[in-house]
Structure 1
Amino acid sequence: MPSFSNWCGEKFIEIASRGKLPMIVGGTGLYIQSVLYDYRFSDISGDAKYRRELELLAEREGAGVLYKMLEELDPETAGKIHPHNVRRVIWALEIYHFSGKMMHEYRKEQKEEMLYDAALVGLTLEREKLYARINQRVDKMIEQGLIAEVEKLLANICAVPSQSRRSATKSCMIILMGS
């Protein structure tokens, strides 16, 4: 994400210098915030070895163990992260491990004002409709061969699914493997 926000910053300047209005359309809230605010992701680059240790711990003993670690170190941040969101829990633990600061302290050090004069427009959808769309998308992915792709992955574990299918692929693998 640091390279994304840096790239966008460069593009904003380039586009504005031509007298045009730069726009970001789509993406998650975090991606948009990383561009508009002073999010310093590169300060905490992490360590693949430490991250892997945490991932293995979660695999062996469950996500709850990592969440409990976070609750003990930084209850404020833990209260904002779902206990099963292993990726975010690990990220919060990494920030503490490498900076000595709790995530909420680290965030407070960052500027809260926008880097650009920007107007934000957000679209929301009723949860029921959102889930219906997600279910339709999953059905379509299955029709387009998701199960066959996952079976092939399981047979040849070195193949990596495309980014757009990773989450669905992982869920499908869990179902096919029976765990």
Structure 2
Amino acid sequence: MRRGQMTQRPHDPATLDRDAGAPEGAPAGPVPCVVGPTASGKSDLAEQLALRLGTMVVSVDAMQVYRGMDVGTAKTPVAERRVPLEMVDVADVDEEYSAALFQRAARGVVDGALAAGLVPVLCGGTGLYLDAVIDEMTFPDGGTTTESRLRYEGLAERLGPQGLHDLLARRDPRSAELIHPNNVRRVERALEMLDEGRSYADQHAGLRAHRPHYDARIWAIEVARGELYRRIEERVDEMFDRGLVEEVASLAAAGLVRDSTAGQAIGYKEVLAALAGECTLDEARDKIKVRTRRYAKRQLSWLRRDGRARWLDVEAIGTDAAVAAIVDDLSRPREA
């Protein structure tokens, strides 16, 4: 299979009749996006919304793209999916998947759905991947190699993605907040820009006037901070109970290493360290909880900075009411 190529999976029992188009009453244009911090319940809400619309969910998660990374990414098990779940399992763990590859493949899914009269539901917590799909964004081919680039590539090899990101955070905290640690090429570019006397954050602020590729409407799940942290703790414990350690060991045997993009994923990085004897599994579990809480805070910062999301307190109003509110809004013209 070519890198970035979608897998073709049977969707049973939730197979869609694409020729039949969307069900009566389904919105014809706007693309709904369900986002929120990890453990907020966005996957459940997106699935319920897709069921209501008779469509599929398109994952916008940078780590769910990897085959075999199921438990640690909270990927909905195949047997439990009630609607098709697209843009998962499209890359092997030893591949360096990118936002550019994701953009091309995910837009193919969205365009195919819209052409069939369906309205796909985008769902996930990776801000860059969502923006890559719904906004006009272009990605450099990375063809120019400079002395500065070579230096930072060497640092990335020695320090790892997180270490390089930490360096950027010390030199330019605003830029570091905008770039995910796993996006090594962009971290390298931000460091290069600092050497040139420029800031990625300043450039980003000038370019981030959103130029929509689709008429996307974003809903974010609102969860009280204490409740969110409780859910994160519970989710991590459940991952260990469901076989996270065994999953990581199996992937390591298949080529997963810590200095790869997939190997830097929260949960996988820490368990790989434990399997290498660098810490205990209990210590790995604690680190996963801490890092997941930090990641959730970054996701919330991204959502607030983006400014387009409409917030839903699903726990207060219930999933059915939240779905109804989204469907009602999708049927209305966009506010000026």
Secondary structure of 1:32 counterpart: helix
Per-residue deviation at 1:138?
1.8
2:32 aligned residue:
none
2:201 aligned residue (92, 101, 104): 104
1:36 aligned residue:
134
Contact 1:12 1:22 in 2 (8 A): yes
Q: Percent identity?
A: 21
Q: Which has the higher strand share?
A: 2
Stretches of structure 1 lacking an aligned partner (at least 5 in a row) = none
1:91 aligned residue:
186
Question: Could you list the per-position Cα deviations for residues 120-150 of structure 1 after superposition, in whole angstroms to 9, with x for gaps in the alignment?
Answer: 1111222222222222222122223444666
Question: Could you list the per-position Cα deviations for residues 72-123 of structure 1 after superposition, in whole angstroms to 9, with x for gaps in the alignment?
Answer: xxx6424x359xx74468633324538x664235433466221222221111
Larger deviation, residues 41-50 vs 87-96: 41-50
User: CA 1:32–1:158 in structure 2 vs 1: closer, same or farther (change >3 Å)?
Assistant: closer
User: CA 1:141–1:164 in structure 2 vs 1: closer, same or farther (change >3 Å)?
Assistant: farther
Secondary structure of 1:24 counterpart: strand
Contact 1:9 1:35 in 2 (8 A): yes
Question: Could you list the per-position Cα deviations for residues 38-83 of structure 1 after superposition, in whole angstroms to 9, with x for gaps in the alignment?
Answer: 2223444787966641224536xx6654434x43xxx6424x359x
| Cα distance between partner residues in 1 of 2:202 and 2:267 | 34
- 1:137 paired with 2:235, answer yes
Secondary structure of 1:135 counterpart: helix
| Cα distance between partner residues in 1 of 2:219 and 2:113 | 20
The amino acid of 1:11's aligned partner reads V
Structure with the greater relative contact order (CA < 8 A, sep ≥ 6): 1 or 2? 2
Contact 2:175 2:200 in 1 (8 A): yes
Q: Counterparts in 2 of 1:123-134, with a 5 A limit?
A: 123-134=221-232
Secondary structure of 2:156 counterpart: helix
Larger deviation, residues 117-126 vs 165-174: 165-174
TM-score (norm 2): 0.38
Contact 2:113 2:120 in 1 (8 A): yes
Per-residue deviation at 1:35?
0.8
2:110 aligned residue:
12
Per-residue deviation at 1:165?
9.6
2:213 aligned residue:
115
Q: Which has the higher helix share?
A: 1
1:171 aligned residue:
270
Q: How many residues align structurally?
A: 166
Stretches of structure 2 lacking an aligned partner (at least 5 in a row) = 1-98, 281-336
Contact 2:134 2:213 in 1 (8 A): yes
User: CA 1:41–1:105 in structure 2 vs 1: closer, same or farther (change >3 Å)?
Assistant: farther
The amino acid of 1:141's aligned partner reads M
Contact 1:36 1:116 in 2 (8 A): yes
User: CA 1:119–1:38 in structure 2 vs 1: closer, same or farther (change >3 Å)?
Assistant: same
2:155 aligned residue (39, 54, 73): 54
Contact 2:263 2:269 in 1 (8 A): no
